[in-house]
């Protein structure tokens, strides 16, 4: 897989508001690490989008450069699908918003939300609704 050039990375930075982590960046080893240590891979880039537009820009960047793309939600893939060697990891951890509508019994989450995020938001919504009914 071709390694992105400095000019290509600069182009990505113009359309991407999240973090772009290269192998020489501080924190790269933490950014590439996944839960299952059997998969000790070294992606060419790890990006952490903050919006749908960022995800679109990252996917477009990877496709245009023929990079293998791995998407990481929680990083708990037992078989290593959330990382890649030499490719692009799109880490959704910063997109962890959770909205709970207890009346409709509906929750919407971002791609990086973990069960703990959902659990806390559901509890908060439940208690908020309970307080409203007591008032």
Query: Tens of pLDDT along the chain (135 residues)?
Result: 678 889 999 999 999 999 999 999 999 999 998 888 888 899 999 999 999 999 999 999 999 999 999 999 977 777 788 899 999 999 999 999 999 998 899 999 999 999 999 999 999 888 877 667 776
* pTM of the model as a whole: 0.87
Residues 6+ apart with CB under 8 A from 126: 102
Note whether 122 and 100 are within 8 A (CB).
yes
* Domains of the chain and any CATH numbers: 6-94 (3.30.43.10), 98-134 (no CATH)
Q: Quick one: tokens of 109?
A: 């989450």
Burial class (CB in 10 A: 0-12, 13-18, 19+), 128: exposed
pLDDT recorded at residue 102: 87
């Amino acid at each position: 897989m071709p390694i992105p050039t400095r000019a290509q990375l600069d182009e990505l930075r113009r359309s991407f508001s999240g973090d772009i982590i290269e192998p020489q960046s501080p924190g790269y080893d933490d950014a590439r690490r996944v839960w299952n240590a059997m998969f000790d891979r070294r992606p060419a880039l790890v990006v952490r989008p903050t919006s749908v537009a960022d995800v679109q820009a990252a996917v477009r960047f990877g496709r245009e450069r023929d990079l293998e793309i791995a998407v990481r939600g929680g990083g708990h893939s037992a078989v290593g699908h959330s990382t890649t060697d030499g490719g692009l990891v799109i880490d959704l951890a910063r997109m962890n918003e959770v909205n709970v509508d207890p009346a409709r019994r509906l929750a919407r989450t971002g791609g990086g939300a973990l069960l703990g995020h959902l659990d806390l938001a559901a509890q908060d919504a439940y208690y908020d609704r309970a307080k409203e009914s007591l008032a």
